C-alpha cells in the first residue's frame, strides 16, 4: 500500500485535490482534529465547483453523507466502499482547524 498525504491547512476545512486516477483508497489515517468529523468529497475532474460529499450507500441513515465521526481523537478507518472517485478532498466537519492537519490515505493500484 502506498500513502498519499492530504493537508487541511490552519483556518480551513477542506484539503487540496487528491489525484486518485491510478490509485484506490483502502484506509484513511485521521489525525487529532479540533472537533466534529471527516467527510470525503469526490469529483471526476479538478473543477472546484463539482466536488461533492460522497454518499453513504450502507444505509446508515442520517444525512446520507459518508461521514466519519472522529470527535477529537485520531483514527485509522478502513475505506467502507468499493468506489473511489478519480479526484478527492478531505473535509473536516464542525469548524475550521486551528493548526495544519495531515491525513494519510492508504492506497492500492486502481484496477
User: Would the pLDDT of 105 be above 70?
Assistant: yes
What is the percent of the chain with per-residue pLDDT over 90, rounded to a whole number? 34
User: Would the pLDDT of 61 be above 60?
Assistant: no
DSSP string, 26-65: EEEEE---SSSEEEEEEESSS-GGG-EEPB-TT---TTSB
pLDDT number for residue 7: 95
pLDDT digits (tens, 9 = 90+) for 63-82: 677 777 776 667 777 776 66
pLDDT digits (tens, 9 = 90+) for 4-38: 999 999 999 999 999 999 999 998 888 887 777 88
Select from 89, 108, 84, 100 the least CA-distant residue to 49.
89
State pTM to two decimals: 0.82
CB 103 within 8 A of CB 13: no
The count of structural domains within the chain is 1
Range of the domain at 64: 2-109
pLDDT number for residue 59: 58
**CATH code, 64:** 2.60.120.260
What CA–CA distance (Å, rounded) separates 14 from 79? 19
pLDDT number for residue 76: 77
Amino acid at each position: 500500500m502506498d500513502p498519499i498525504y492530504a493537508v487541511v491547512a490552519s483556518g480551513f476545512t477542506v484539503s487540496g485535490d487528491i489525484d486518485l486516477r491510478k490509485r484506490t483508497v483502502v484506509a484513511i489515517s485521521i489525525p487529532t482534529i479540533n472537533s466534529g468529523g471527516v467527510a470525503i468529497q469526490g469529483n471526476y475532474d479538478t473543477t472546484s465547483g463539482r466536488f461533492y460529499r460522497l454518499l453513504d450507500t450502507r444505509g446508515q441513515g442520517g444525512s446520507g453523507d459518508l461521514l466519519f465521526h472522529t470527535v477529537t481523537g485520531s483514527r485509522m478507518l478502513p475505506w467502507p466502499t468499493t468506489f473511489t472517485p478519480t479526484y478527492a478532498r478531505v473535509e473536516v466537519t464542525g469548524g475550521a482547524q486551528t493548526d495544519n492537519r495531515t491525513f494519510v490515505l492508504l492506497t492500492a493500484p486502481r484496477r
